[in-house]
Structure 1
Amino acid sequence: MSCIVRLLVMPVLLLLSSVTLASASPDRVALVLGMADYETITPLTNTRNDAEALAETLTDIGFDVTLGIDLTEADLRQVMKDFSFRSETADLALIYFAGHGIEVQGENFLIPVDARPRSNIDVQQQSVSLKEMLAVVEKARVMRIVILDSCRDNPLGGNIDPDAVLQSALQATDEATRGVGGLAPAKPDRGTLVAFAAKDGQVALDGTRGNSPYARALMEKMAKPGLEISLMFRQVRDAVLEETQNLQEPYTYGSLTGTPFYLTGTPDGDTEVAEAEPTKTWSKLRPDQESQLLALANLGDTRSMLGLAYIRLNPEDTRFDPAQAVSFLERAVERGSPEAQMELAKLYEQGIGVTVDEARALELYQAAADQGFADAINDLGFLYYQGGLGLRPNPTKALELFERAADLRHPEAQFNFAALIDDGMIADKGPKDAASYLYAALRSGSQDVLNLLLERPTMFAEETRRELQSQLQAYDFYTGTIDGDIGPGTKRGIRAAYGLE
C-alpha cells in the first residue's frame, strides 16, 4: 500500500511511517478442508473430490497447501492452530471448506465428521465457527480469504434432525444439496473476504458431475492467468448462475484492500501477490477487465472505484488523469471507503488533481482513522506529533494514535511504539512490552523493521533486546543465551520470525 512518508527523529532512532512488504517464503498458503464421511449426519458425495481437486489447483498456481479430509473436531482444531501460525508470515492466507454447515442464532458453524448434533448447543460445542476460521487467517500480511462451499441453516429451530434437514433440502430442488436456507451474512474485518457458495436464502448444490458447481467454477477461474481477484469471484458467480439455471448465486462479503491481486500472475506474467505501488499494478489490467471494473464501480463497488483511480494516478500510464482519479475517489468516499478517504486526503494535501486544501485533507484523514484504518491512524499520529495540516503539535494525542495503530497490527506503528516504550515515553509499559511490539512487527512483515533489527539492534536498550530474545525463544526461533547480544544466532531467529528461514 502507498502512504506519505512522514519521518520523525526521536532521541534514539528514526521512526517509520511507510509500509514496505518483502517476500517471505511461502508468500501464499492455503488450508483446504473436505468433509464427506460424516458419522451421524448424511454423508456428502462430492466434498472430498472438491477439496482434493481444489488443493491440486492451488498447488499448481503456487500456493503452499495443507489438505485435510474427513477431520474430527480435535484434528480440525489442531490443523487450524498450525495453519494460523504459518499464515502470519504469508502475504495471502486462504481457507476452503466443503462440508456441512449450519447457522445457529445468527452465527455460522462448520461441522467436522465426528459431530453428533441434536440441538443448537451440540452444534456450538461440537463444531468450528466461522469466527474461529477468520481468526486463523487474520494475521496474514496482506489478504485473507475464507471460502465456504457449505451453505445451510438450522431449519428446525432448537432441535436438529439430520434426516429431516436432508429431506427438506431435497424437496427444494431435484439435485442434492449441501443444506437448505443459507448461512448467515458475514461481517469480516477489512482486508478479509468471505465467499459463500450461495447467498443467504439459497442452497449450495452438491453437484452430479463429480464436483459441486461452485468448486468447478472456482478451479476454472483461479487457474486463469491475469484475472484480478475481485473480477475472478464475479466470473465464478456468473458461471454458477448459468450452470444452476439461477438456482444458486454465490456471494462474497468483506472489503478487500485497494491492492490488486492476481492468483495466477498479472497480465504480464508477474506472480507477486502484491506490490508497494498499486498504481503500477492496477495499470497492468487488460482493457476487458477495466471494462468489468467500470461495470462493478457503476454498481457501487468501492474497490473497483479505487482501482480505476489508481490507474489514473500512474503518470507512466496513457490513462493518467488525476482529475478523473479524484472523481472516482470522491464516489468511493461518498460510500464510506476509508482507503478512498486516505488516498483523497493525500491528493488534497499535495494538490494533485485538486487545489491544495489542508482542512479537507485533515478531515479525510480523520474520517479514515475514525473507521479504524491503520494507515490513516499512523499518519495522523505523525501529524499530531510534528504539527501539520493546521494542527498544533500534540505529543500526547500522537502517542495515543501510535498505540492504536500498533494494536491494529500496522507494522511500522508497532516498531515505532516499541521505540517509544524503549525511550521511556510510555509510562505504563516497559522492555517486555517493547519486545512484544517488535516481535509483532517482524511477523507483520515490514522489511524496514527487519533491516533495522539486523543492522542497528543497539538502538534498543539491552533489557529490551533480552526480552526480544525471550520472545523468539518462546516460539522456537532462538535457542541461545538470553544476554541481549544480537549476534548471529539471534539474527537467525529474527529472520526466522520474519519468515525467511
Structure 2
Amino acid sequence: MKIRFLFLLALLVSLVPTAPSLAAGDRYALVIGNAKYPDADAPLKEPLNDARDVADELKRDGFSVEIGENLTGDGMRRAFDKLYGKIKPGSVALVFFSGFGIQSARQSYMLPIDAQIWTESDVRRDGFSLEAVLGELNTRGAGVKIALIDASRRNPFERRFRSFSAGLTPVIAPNGTLVMYSAALASVVSDAGGEHSLFVQELLKEIRVPDLMAEETLNRTKMGVTRASRGEQVPWISSSLAEDFSFIPGAGGSRPTMAPPPAPPRRHPSSPITRRRHHRRRHHRLRRRSRPTRQPHRRPRPSRPHHRSPRSRPPYPRRRRR
C-alpha cells in the first residue's frame, strides 16, 4: 500500500507544469505606426493597420502594449521613456516600428513624422537609433529584447544627400536580443498597397501558431515572405537569445512533460511458502557453485617412436669417414 502511494505521488508531481521563466505580466511592448510624413508624396497606407493589428495580437499574448500612431520626435521620445520606466530585471521588451527607416554611420534609425533631414548628420539628430534603444533596454535589465522593424521602404530623405537607397544596416545588439527587418540588409521594398504589408501579414499568421519558439516563428515568417514575393523580399533576422521564449505563453519549453514512473522496489518474500521456495533455490545455486568442475575424459595417446622434425635434421647428409 505504501509503495503504491509513493508511485502515485511521484506520478502526480511529474504532471505538474513547470512555471515559465518569464511571467506574462513581465511582457512589455511599444508599437509605433508612422504613416503621415509631410515630405512624402502621399501617406503610407500600411503602417497604421499593421500597428493596430500587431498590438491586438500582442495583447492576446499577454503583453502590456503601448501603441503610438504618427508620432513626432517628442512623441517617440516620450513613448520610449515610458517603456524604459516599465522594465524590470528579467522582463521581456518588444519594439515594433512601421514607417520610414534609414541608415547612417553603420546604424539603423527609425524616423518620426516631423524629421527634417537634408544631410546625413540630420539623421543622427532627428532619428532614433535602434542600437541605442536596445542598449537602453538591456541597461534597464530586460532579459529578452525583441525588435520587429518594418521600415525598409524607399523614403523621400535619402535622395537629398545620397544617390541610392541604402536600406538598413546590421545592428550590434546585446545578448538576449532578437531582431528582424522586413527586408534584407541594404535593400528596400515598395508597399503593396493592401491592408497589411507582406511582412506583417506573414508575421500575424505565424505568431498565432502554438508551440513555437520566437526564433522559429520569425524563421517561418521569413520563409513565408520569401515565397510570397518569389525571392524579391527576404527578411533579415539576427538572434542572440540565451533562453527559450515563445510569443504564446505556456508554449514550447514551458509545456509539462511526462516523467518516467519510478521503478517499484524489489519485494522480499513474506509468506512461509515463498520463503521456503526462496531458500530452496538459494541452496541449489550454492550447491552448483561448490561442485568441482569436471574435465572431459581423454584417452591416453599411444606412445610413438621419437621422430625428428624436419627442422631438426641437418640440411645435408653427413659423409662417412673412410
The TM-score, its normalising length taken from structure 2, stands at 0.67
Question: Counterparts of 1:239 and 1:66 in 2: how far apart (Å)?
Answer: 28
User: 1:408-448 deviations in whole A, cap 9, x for unaligned?
Assistant: xxxxxxxxxxxxxxxxxxxxxxxxxxxxxxxxxxxxxxxxx
Bigger RCO of structures 1 and 2 (CA < 8 A, at least 6 apart): 2
Question: Counterparts of 1:227 and 1:192 in 2: how far apart (Å)?
Answer: 17
Question: Counterparts of 1:262 and 1:127 in 2: how far apart (Å)?
Answer: 30
Question: Counterparts of 2:159 and 2:35 in 1: how far apart (Å)?
Answer: 25
Any idea what SS the aligned residue of 1:186 has? coil
Question: Counterparts of 1:228 and 1:102 in 2: how far apart (Å)?
Answer: 30
Q: Does 1:232 align with 2:233?
A: no
- Contact conserved, 2:62 with 2:249, CA < 8 A, in 1? no
- Contact conserved, 1:204 with 1:248, CA < 8 A, in 2? yes
Give the aligned residue type for 1:260: D
Report the alpha carbon displacement of residue 231 of structure 1 after superposing the two structures with TM: 0.8
- Alpha-carbon spacing, 1:56–1:156, altered in 2? closer, same or farther (3 Å): closer
- Contact conserved, 1:205 with 1:212, CA < 8 A, in 2? no
Question: Counterparts of 1:123 and 1:147 in 2: how far apart (Å)?
Answer: 20
Percent of pairs identical after alignment? 26
Question: Counterparts of 2:27 and 2:109 in 1: how far apart (Å)?
Answer: 26
Report the alpha carbon displacement of residue 189 of structure 1 after superposing the two structures with TM: 1.0
Detail structure 1 runs of 4+ shifted over 4 Å in the superposition.
Answer: 20-25, 152-158, 314-318
Give the aligned residue type for 1:261: F
- Alpha-carbon spacing, 1:22–1:157, altered in 2? closer, same or farther (3 Å): closer
Question: Counterparts of 1:107 and 1:118 in 2: how far apart (Å)?
Answer: 18
**Number of aligned residues:** 241
Any idea what SS the aligned residue of 1:246 has? coil
Any idea what SS the aligned residue of 2:205 has? helix
Equivalent residues in 2 for 1:28-427, closer than 5 Å:
28-42=27-41, 43-89=43-89, 91-138=91-138, 139-151=140-152, 159-160=160-161, 180-257=165-242, 259-267=243-251, 281=253, 316=259
Any idea what SS the aligned residue of 2:147 has? strand
Question: Counterparts of 1:225 and 1:21 in 2: how far apart (Å)?
Answer: 15
Report the alpha carbon displacement of residue 62 of structure 1 after superposing the two structures with TM: 1.4
The TM-score, its normalising length taken from structure 1, stands at 0.44
Question: Counterparts of 1:94 and 1:125 in 2: how far apart (Å)?
Answer: 24
Give the aligned residue type for 2:135: A
Question: What are the ranges of 5 or more consecutive residues in structure 2 without an aligned counterpart?
Answer: 1-18, 262-322
User: 1:171-214 deviations in whole A, cap 9, x for unaligned?
Assistant: xxxxxxxxx44201112111111111111132244223211011
- Contact conserved, 2:135 with 2:174, CA < 8 A, in 1? no
Give the aligned residue type for 2:186: G
Question: Counterparts of 2:216 and 2:80 in 1: how far apart (Å)?
Answer: 28
Give the aligned residue type for 1:109: Y
Report the alpha carbon displacement of residue 89 of structure 1 after superposing the two structures with TM: 4.8
- Contact conserved, 1:196 with 1:250, CA < 8 A, in 2? yes
- Alpha-carbon spacing, 1:181–1:140, altered in 2? closer, same or farther (3 Å): same
Question: Counterparts of 1:210 and 1:29 in 2: how far apart (Å)?
Answer: 26
- Contact conserved, 1:41 with 1:116, CA < 8 A, in 2? no
Question: Counterparts of 2:195 and 2:22 in 1: how far apart (Å)?
Answer: 37
- Contact conserved, 2:169 with 2:185, CA < 8 A, in 1? yes
- Alpha-carbon spacing, 1:30–1:90, altered in 2? closer, same or farther (3 Å): farther
